[in-house]
């Protein structure tokens, strides 16, 4: 029973049934051996890193109050030790991202100390949880868009992508400096990725932990007149069939920017032949100088790990991203905390490993959409 309940942190469709079976009024009285308290450190930690999914009406069981979280303490510890929760795939120390939802070393130590130390509640009241999921985080958008129809998510369906096509209705070229995305039903929505329909132009992504993206000052996306935006949403079924109609808020720049964001796609050639542990590589030479602001990696089924490395013209190297365990069920965009300089002549190298060879396919085994803008210095 305990093992099954622990696995519910990853299987959102079974959460409600599991919760009702837990004997919530009987706790073991472990001796308190820690100064870390729920009402002080842990409640704040959960609000920063967990409650975007673990609250009423969200993807998984609530962890808002001490009564909510206490029965799940050992499961929380287990998922944290395994680095499965919060679901941030990138390894720490390789790239710095503004939307990093993983636990910091200090947060991790607090959480384990609290569980091992007897899960004390502490005196007083925890800070009030403010749910910002319905707020437009960059202010009121200049344009709010919705698809013409929704997507039906069947009861208990496995995580899978569905595409919405949104007609912007724009009659002239428009420069977009940021966006915010709001799912219609937070209980079934894990991630969303935006692109210009019928092109490789990647715009950005959304997760429950990071709903909005704002580009650096003087930088913007160009949307042509009559543009249509493709929104690929990662849904997972819950205990009932629902229809989701999301909203997309756009923030428009007042004039054409100095830096226009473009997308380059890093992809390998087709892979041929059977085998296990297949290694696939790709590289992209940047002919002109620029700055990298965000990216989205995708891998075919069987993709295990992915590394992106920057090799500068002076020979210096930097790993920009290392996903040690790629998970199809928890995907995320990567937004750099500070734009990464790409001197003219820089080489971007990607290496991916698969549990088995992807085989011959017209679809690349993996791709990385890279959003960058030109810099005048070229360095």
What is the mean predicted confidence (pLDDT) over 65-91?
96
Average pLDDT taken over every residue of the chain: 89
Q: Evaluate if residue 8 carries a pLDDT over 90.
A: no
Assign 136 to helix, strand or coil. coil
Domain ranges of the chain: 2-116, 143-259, 262-374
What is the mean predicted confidence (pLDDT) over 202-207?
97
The C-alpha atoms of residue 195 and residue 181 are separated, in whole angstroms, by 13
Report the range of poorest mean pLDDT among 2-11, 131-140, 330-339: 2-11
How high is the pLDDT of residue 277?
A: 65
The C-alpha atoms of residue 184 and residue 198 are separated, in whole angstroms, by 24
Strand partners, 353: 279, 305
Tell me phi and psi for residue 67, to 5 degrees. -65, -35
The C-alpha atoms of residue 359 and residue 339 are separated, in whole angstroms, by 35
Going by C-alpha positions, the residue among 335, 268, 262 that lies closest to residue 295 is 335
Q: Evaluate whether 218 touches 175 at the Cβ level (below 8 Å).
A: no
What is the mean predicted confidence (pLDDT) over 109-125?
97
Q: Evaluate whether 279 touches 353 at the Cβ level (below 8 Å).
A: yes
Assign 320 to helix, strand or coil. strand
For residue range 264-300, list pLDDT tens digits in order.
Answer: 999 997 665 544 568 999 999 999 999 999 999 999 9
The CATH number assigned to the domain with range 262-374 reads: 2.60.120.230
Class of domain 143-259: mainly beta
What is the mean predicted confidence (pLDDT) over 360-377?
83
Strand partners, 323: 90, 306
The C-alpha atoms of residue 335 and residue 209 are separated, in whole angstroms, by 13
The C-alpha atoms of residue 269 and residue 367 are separated, in whole angstroms, by 10
Q: Using a cut of 0.75, tell me whether the model's pTM lies above it.
A: yes
Q: Evaluate if residue 330 carries a pLDDT over 70.
A: yes
- CA distance from start to end of the chain: 58
How high is the pLDDT of residue 252?
A: 97
Q: Evaluate whether 336 touches 98 at the Cβ level (below 8 Å).
A: yes
Q: Evaluate whether 233 touches 151 at the Cβ level (below 8 Å).
A: yes
Going by C-alpha positions, the residue among 336, 333, 247, 356 that lies closest to residue 291 is 336
How high is the pLDDT of residue 28?
A: 52
Q: Evaluate whether 374 touches 293 at the Cβ level (below 8 Å).
A: no
For the chain, what percent of residues have pLDDT higher than 70?
87
Q: Evaluate if residue 47 carries a pLDDT over 80.
A: yes
How high is the pLDDT of residue 16?
A: 35
Q: Evaluate if residue 11 carries a pLDDT over 90.
A: no
Helix ranges restricted to H, the chain: 2-7, 15-21, 43-49, 66-69, 73-81, 105-116
């Amino acid at each position: 029973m305990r093992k099954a309940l622990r696995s519910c942190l990853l299987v959102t469709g079974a959460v409600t049934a599991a919760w009702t079976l837990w004997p919530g009024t009987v706790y073991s009285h472990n001796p308190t051996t820690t100064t870390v308290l729920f009402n002080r450190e842990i409640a704040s930690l959960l609000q920063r890193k967990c409650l975007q999914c673990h609250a009423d009406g969200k993807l998984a069981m609530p962890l808002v109050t001490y009564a909510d979280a206490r029965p799940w303490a050992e499961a929380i510890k287990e998922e944290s030790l395994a680095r499965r929760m919060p679901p941030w795939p990138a390894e720490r120390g390789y790239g710095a991202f503004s939307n990093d939802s993983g636990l910091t070393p200090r947060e991790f130590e607090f959480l384990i100390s609290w569980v091992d130390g007897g899960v004390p509640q502490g005196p007083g009241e925890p800070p009030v949880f403010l749910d910002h999921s319905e707020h437009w985080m960059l202010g009121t958008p200049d344009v709010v868009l919705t698809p013409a129809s929704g997507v039906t998510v069947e009861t208990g369906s496995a995580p899978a992508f569905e595409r919405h096509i949104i007609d912007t209705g724009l009659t002239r070229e428009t420069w977009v400096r940021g966006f915010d995305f709001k799912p219609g039903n937070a209980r079934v929505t894990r991630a969303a990725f935006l692109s210009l329909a019928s092109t490789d132009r990647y715009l950005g992504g959304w997760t429950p932990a990071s709903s909005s993206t704002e580009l650096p000052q003087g930088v913007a996306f160009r949307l042509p007149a009559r543009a249509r935006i493709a929104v690929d949403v990662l849904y997972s079924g819950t205990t009932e069939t629902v229809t989701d109609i999301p909203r997309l808020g756009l923030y428009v720049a007042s004039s054409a920017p100095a830096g226009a964001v473009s997308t380059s796609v890093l992809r390998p050639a087709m892979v041929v032949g059977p085998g296990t542990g297949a290694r696939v590589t790709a590289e992209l030479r940047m002919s002109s100088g620029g700055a990298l602001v965000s990216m989205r990696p995708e891998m075919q089924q069987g993709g295990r790990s992915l590394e992106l490395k920057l090799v500068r013209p002076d020979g210096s190297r930097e790993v920009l991203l290392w996903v040690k365990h790629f998970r199809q069920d928890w995907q995320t965009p990567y937004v750099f905390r500070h734009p990464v300089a790409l001197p003219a002549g820089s080489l971007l190298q990607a290496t991916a490993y698969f549990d088995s060879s992807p085989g011959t396919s017209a679809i690349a085994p993996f791709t990385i959409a890279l959003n960058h803008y030109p810099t005048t210095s070229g360095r």
